[in-house]
């Protein structure tokens, strides 16, 4: 009896079994990683930012934000459930349902196990919920005493206009949010009424340039109601990508 799998009855091969179980039966009955089957993250419904731990970061559209959250979760929270795991690496993720506020993902990993000759794989089914909310910066912006400045540097205005024309032509809300555009010799300043439009512009530019973004805030005076007005400033450095 010691030479056959205690579960399926197949012969046990050297380097391909764990204790009394063949490798297939072991993987079917044992979770190698501790992964929650249900996850939730906060998603700003106005600008697309997501909260990772204690920080709000750019997330993108709902599908991009969900994938970014999952990548963060895998890196920060996933741990082996058994001491047999010597090494593991994240291989891939794919959606089993249409990306939405509730999406089912399949996460795949590859493992090196103690006493097993070849690498093995195991996948995990996770249901992830995007919880719509408002990030702190958008709360300020919607209060009416906060606007946004996107400082684009490193590319001449004509080149910027060429790359942003498709976005501007297809997004009426973005165009309505533009307060002013000031062209400079090596870039442009775009004044906007909301942070979400700034994020869309930066995402579009990432498709064409190497982008480095520094986010700061500045005081811009006092409102008619006596409140301090703040401006969110995205300082964006652009470089042409090497071909």
Taking the model in full, what pTM does it have? 0.59
Residue with tokens 């949010």: 177
SS (H, E, C) 164-232: HHHHHHHCHHHHHHEEEEEEECCEEEEEECCHHHHHHHHHHHHCCEEEEEEEEEEEEEECCCCCEEEEE
Q: Which pLDDT belongs to residue 48?
A: 86
Domain parsing of the chain, residue ranges: 31-133, 136-240
Task: Give Cα separations from 9 to 2, 19, 21 (angstroms).
Answer: 10, 13, 9
SS (H, E, C) 44-74: ECCCCCEEECCEEECCCCHHHHHHHHHHHHH
Mind listing the pLDDT tens digit of every residue in the chain (243 residues)? Answer: 468 999 998 999 888 899 899 999 999 999 999 999 999 999 988 788 899 988 888 888 889 999 999 999 999 999 999 999 999 999 999 999 998 899 999 999 999 999 898 999 999 999 999 998 878 766 655 554 457 899 999 998 888 988 888 888 887 778 777 877 888 889 999 988 778 889 889 999 999 999 999 988 877 666 545 666 778 899 999 998 765
Say if strands 79-80 and 33-34 run parallel, antiparallel, or are unpaired: antiparallel
Give the tokens for residue 238: 């652009």
């Amino acid at each position: 009896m010691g030479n056959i799998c205690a579960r399926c009855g197949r012969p046990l091969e050297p380097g391909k079994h764990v204790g009394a179980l063949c490798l297939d039966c072991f993987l079917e009955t044992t979770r190698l990683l501790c992964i929650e089957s249900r996850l939730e993250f906060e998603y700003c419904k106005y600008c697309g930012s997501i909260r990772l731990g204690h920080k709000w970061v750019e997330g993108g559209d709902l599908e991009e934000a969900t994938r970014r959250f999952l990548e963060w979760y895998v890196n920060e929270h996933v741990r082996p459930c058994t001491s047999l795991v010597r090494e593991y690496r994240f291989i891939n993720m794919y959606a089993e349902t249409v990306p939405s506020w509730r999406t089912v993902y399949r996460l795949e990993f590859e493992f090196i196990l103690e006493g097993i000759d070849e690498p093995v794989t195991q996948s995990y089914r996770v249901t992830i919920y995007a919880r719509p909310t408002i990030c702190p910066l958008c709360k300020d912006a919607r209060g009416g005493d906060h606007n946004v400045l996107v400082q684009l540097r490193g590319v001449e205005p004509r080149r910027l206009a060429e790359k942003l024309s498709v976005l501007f032509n297809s997004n009426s809300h973005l165009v309505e949010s533009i307060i002013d555009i000031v062209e400079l010799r090596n870039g442009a300043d775009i004044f906007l009424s909301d942070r979400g439009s700034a994020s869309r512009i930066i995402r579009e530019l990432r498709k064409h340039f190497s982008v480095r973004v520094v986010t700061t805030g500045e005081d811009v005076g006092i409102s008619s109601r006596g409140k301090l007005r703040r401006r969110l400033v995205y300082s964006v450095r652009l470089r042409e990508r090497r071909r």
